[in-house]
Structure 1
């Protein structure tokens, strides 16, 4: 019990010390228009320096992340097929695949997979 309390106190001390050091180091400077504006060879910028964010590319990126997570879940299912009950394994796999197909159908019907509109 003493070791646990000592470890917790050490962790609390280190984390609070780091938080205090970070707040002291990261003093915010005065932000004015000149410092916050983009610099283009001493002239005012011709156009906006901010590029508009494309929501379509964000949705495609999210779909790829979901696809990667699906692969991470499906691959171990193949390995556990030998050691588990075949009925339970097939029901679990079928339900998982049906949820994925329903999600794909939903994305397709809402037009999330179209590149140009």
Structure 2
């Protein structure tokens, strides 16, 4: 029975260290900011600092859905490029099955791109 509990000791030690470090990373900056006075707000700290004048409208304004569509398309084709490099490097080892799987993957991405193009997701007014 003692050997089973001893097997869990490294896991419990790891969890204890992780909990202690995560608590320290959260609490120490808060304590340091309280001790140094950097958490005391005043007018100069709360002033606009990015462009120098107050914002025109609410920061929670809705964006056009085209912004999100372009972002999603960028991520999809960025991932495609990230998958193509290791595939090309290991093509000799994976053989015809790996080549066929990548061709199916590229065909699906091409169909998705054509669909987005036909739907006007890439049009900007």
Indicate the SS of the match to 1:114: coil
TM-aligned CA deviation for residue 36 of structure 1: 9.0
TM-aligned CA deviation for residue 50 of structure 1: 4.6
Q: What is the alpha-carbon distance in structure 1 between the residues aligned to residue 47 and residue 123 of structure 2? A: 37
Selected match of 1:77 from 78, 87, 102: 87
Q: What is the alpha-carbon distance in structure 2 between the residues aligned to residue 62 and residue 6 of structure 1? A: 41
Gaps of 5+ in 1: 30-34
1:72-116 Cα distance to aligned partner (Å, 9 max, x none): 111221122211222x12320221011101211221232101112
Selected match of 1:106 from 109, 115, 121: 115
1:67 aligned onto 2:105: no
Q: What is the alpha-carbon distance in structure 2 between the residues aligned to residue 59 and residue 102 of structure 1? A: 16
1:29-84 Cα distance to aligned partner (Å, 9 max, x none): 9xxxxx799x85xxxx7x83458634323322332222111001112211222112
Question: Which structure has greater helix proportion?
Answer: 2
Q: What is the alpha-carbon distance in structure 2 between the residues aligned to residue 104 and residue 6 of structure 1? A: 49
Gaps of 5+ in 2: 1-6, 41-45
TM-score by length of 2: 0.60
TM-score by length of 1: 0.63
The alignment's C-alpha RMSD in Å is 3.6
The number of equivalent residue pairs is 108
